[in-house]
Structure 1
Amino acid sequence: MVGFGPEDDHFVAELTYNYGVAEYQLGNDFLGITLQSSQAVSNAKRLGWPLSQVGEALYLTQAPGGFRFYLVDKEQPPTDPVQKVSLGVSDLPKSIHYWSKLLGMTLMERNDDQKTALLGFGDTQCKLELHDISGTVNHGTAFGRIAFSCPRDQLPDLEALMKKENQNILTPLVSLDTPGKATVEVVILADPDGHEICFVGDEAFRQLSLVDPRGNELLDKGMADDKSNEWFAKHNRQKAAA
């Protein structure tokens, strides 16, 4: 889990390495993450990482797997630098109804000319941007999900509402055990375009999401100990280059 601060008040990304998967086919479902950080822009320039300017003080770059990041070339704010996550949708009014009326997000901006809408649960939190792509949403083979935490006692009501509205429930409310840690309750939904959404009971989740002071050290060790090249060679398969 990587981010600019604790999960209590910061957006984080979960990175998962799957052995046996040499490459992913990206779809048009995930359109990118936008974050504000002049340091990120200068880091990319210093390292020679591909970077293209797409607007005033706005740059586009890509992670090794092709996931897009939009970097706002301004000083990193004291709050979360991650401004928004952008998803492609096929019917903007329908998606706005789902995310605002059913999931309770606030519609903060809507631009019919650009076919976009900006929603959020709070002013200081990372926002969700819905972008009408005027076509079918293709999830490719690399899609993931967005997760939110909320008070545990809201989960049964959320599940009941989705049943009443005949919405897609991928995983009904369930308890998940974590050895040596808290047991969390989750319900996993899918919006009209199949974007997966996980709601987690906040009380237990806060115990699981504490920052590990050895996080950077463990990450470096994990990469140093990586045996994936050996795995692919043993199975006579080609590993995609980053």
Structure 2
Amino acid sequence: MTQIIIIKNKQRQRLSKNMRRALHFVFKVGDRAKTATFYRDVLGMKVLRHEEFVEGCKATCNGPYDGKWSKTMVGFGPEDNHFVAELTYNYGVAEYQLGNDFLGLTIQSSQAVSNAKRLGWPLTQVGDSFYLTQAPGGYSFYLVDKEQPSTDPVQKVCLGVSDLPKSTHYWSKLLGMTVIEKDDDKKTVLLGFGETQCKLELQDINGTVNHGTAFGRIAFSCPRDQLPDLEALMKKENQKILTPLVSLDTPGKATVEVVILADPDGHEICFVGDEAFRQLSMVDPKGNELLDKGMADDKSNEWFAKHNRLKAAA
């Protein structure tokens, strides 16, 4: 039986006061060319910005790697009001092992369904006007064959959990998300920070959550002055903090403050100060060009082939 939870006025007021919002999900990719084809040509997303880095991120944005890497933000619109994907590419790493932590991202777009069929991208119908496809690397994407909404087409991100009540408590009581819907039959809970934002769905997988080596990260923003209180709350509740509050510098752009948390199943959660992030995340009109240049300049495949070696598997 599905139980619908109606958000009351006081909850709406608290939600507005918090002003927290869903930002993006981080995917590690091993093949930028195929990945770019999927997001740009199949899904129809735009490159919002692209950056190249010579060393690892202090907040481990690219995972436990210290070498050269790149970050590409793609989405249906600006990060100010759209949930987007952050694609991190570590030079020299060709593939990552998937776990059962990330269960899928749902997008409403008949155009994406049409694009997949036209390009011959593998597509499986799993319900009425509902399709399953995969991004390079095996990440699951669910496409709703309906016209894109005027708001954000990205509807929800689904994560696997081992103890649904415990996880629901963490995300709602500690992080402040509102429970929108519970489905006892499917063992899922849908949560969100706002009605027009991308939602988070937690699904009980009846077992241990395995993050593999492709473990992702979901990011949210909140007013900068909430970050110390959030960190203090996690310490008080004996919850895991992966990266204590730290400032991240991006040359020529805003300096942002972040704290990285982990929920009871080890899902990585990034909270970033909203004010600086809005400056950092402004759309770069050269983003698409910079991504293409980064891929063209990447000679790692040729180097490994010349030396008769294979790229690493994480």
TM range (shorter): over 0.9
Equivalent in the alignment of 1:103: 175
Classify 1:235/1:206 alpha carbon distance in 2 versus 1 (closer, same or farther; 3 Å): farther
Equivalent residue of 1:118, what SS?
strand
Q: Is the aligned partner of 1:73 residue 2:145? A: yes
Equivalent residue of 1:212, what SS?
coil
Q: Is the aligned partner of 1:136 residue 2:204? A: no
Q: Is the aligned partner of 1:155 residue 2:203? A: no
Equivalent in the alignment of 2:286: 214
Tell which deviates more after alignment, 13-22 or 120-129.
13-22
Equivalent in the alignment of 1:50: 122
Equivalent residue of 1:229, what SS?
helix
Corresponding letter in the other structure for 2:104: G
Tell which deviates more after alignment, 95-104 or 231-240.
231-240
CA drift at 1:190: 0.1
Rounded Cα–Cα distance in structure 2 between residues aligned with 1:165 and 1:197: 16
Corresponding letter in the other structure for 1:205: F
Corresponding letter in the other structure for 1:69: F
Deviation string 1:11-46 (CA, Å, 9 cap, x unpaired) is 111111112222211000000100000000000000
Equivalent residue of 1:159, what SS?
helix
Rounded Cα–Cα distance in structure 1 between residues aligned with 2:176 and 2:285: 34
Rounded Cα–Cα distance in structure 2 between residues aligned with 1:214 and 1:22: 26
**How many residue pairs end up in the alignment?**
240
CA drift at 1:220: 2.4
Equivalent in the alignment of 2:41: none
Deviation string 1:160-203 (CA, Å, 9 cap, x unpaired) is 10011000001111112222221111110000000000000011
Rounded Cα–Cα distance in structure 1 between residues aligned with 2:186 and 2:270: 28
Equivalent in the alignment of 2:164: 92
Corresponding letter in the other structure for 2:226: Q
Equivalent in the alignment of 1:181: 253
- What are the ranges of 5 or more consecutive residues in structure 2 without an aligned counterpart? 1-72
Rounded Cα–Cα distance in structure 1 between residues aligned with 2:276 and 2:253: 9
> Runs of at least 4 residues of structure 1 off by over 6 A?
none
CA drift at 1:235: 4.7
Equivalent residue of 1:64, what SS?
coil
Say which of 103, 125, 135 aligns to 1:31.
Answer: 103
Rounded Cα–Cα distance in structure 1 between residues aligned with 2:221 and 2:190: 20
Rounded Cα–Cα distance in structure 1 between residues aligned with 2:204 and 2:309: 38
Deviation string 1:25-73 (CA, Å, 9 cap, x unpaired) is 1000000100000000000000001000001100000011100100000
Corresponding letter in the other structure for 1:114: K
Rounded Cα–Cα distance in structure 2 between residues aligned with 1:165 and 1:123: 28
Corresponding letter in the other structure for 1:191: D
Matches within 5 A, 1:159-174: 159-174=231-246
Over the residues paired in the alignment, what is the CA RMSD in angstroms?
1.2
CA drift at 1:239: 4.8
Q: Percent identity at matched positions?
A: 90
Q: Is the aligned partner of 1:229 residue 2:304? A: no
Rounded Cα–Cα distance in structure 2 between residues aligned with 1:201 and 1:173: 10
CA drift at 1:228: 2.6
Task: Provide the TM-score with structure 2 as the length reference.
Answer: 0.74
Rounded Cα–Cα distance in structure 2 between residues aligned with 1:196 and 1:209: 20
Rounded Cα–Cα distance in structure 2 between residues aligned with 1:115 and 1:132: 6
Rounded Cα–Cα distance in structure 1 between residues aligned with 2:305 and 2:270: 36
- What are the ranges of 5 or more consecutive residues in structure 1 without an aligned counterpart? none
Say which of 126, 141, 155 aligns to 1:83.
Answer: 155
CA drift at 1:114: 0.4
Equivalent in the alignment of 2:29: none
Rounded Cα–Cα distance in structure 2 between residues aligned with 1:202 and 1:160: 18
Higher relative contact order (CA 8 A, sep 6+): 2
Equivalent residue of 2:172, what SS?
helix
Rounded Cα–Cα distance in structure 2 between residues aligned with 1:47 and 1:5: 23
Say which of 260, 263, 268 aligns to 1:191.
Answer: 263
Equivalent in the alignment of 1:40: 112
Rounded Cα–Cα distance in structure 2 between residues aligned with 1:79 and 1:160: 34
CA drift at 1:222: 2.5
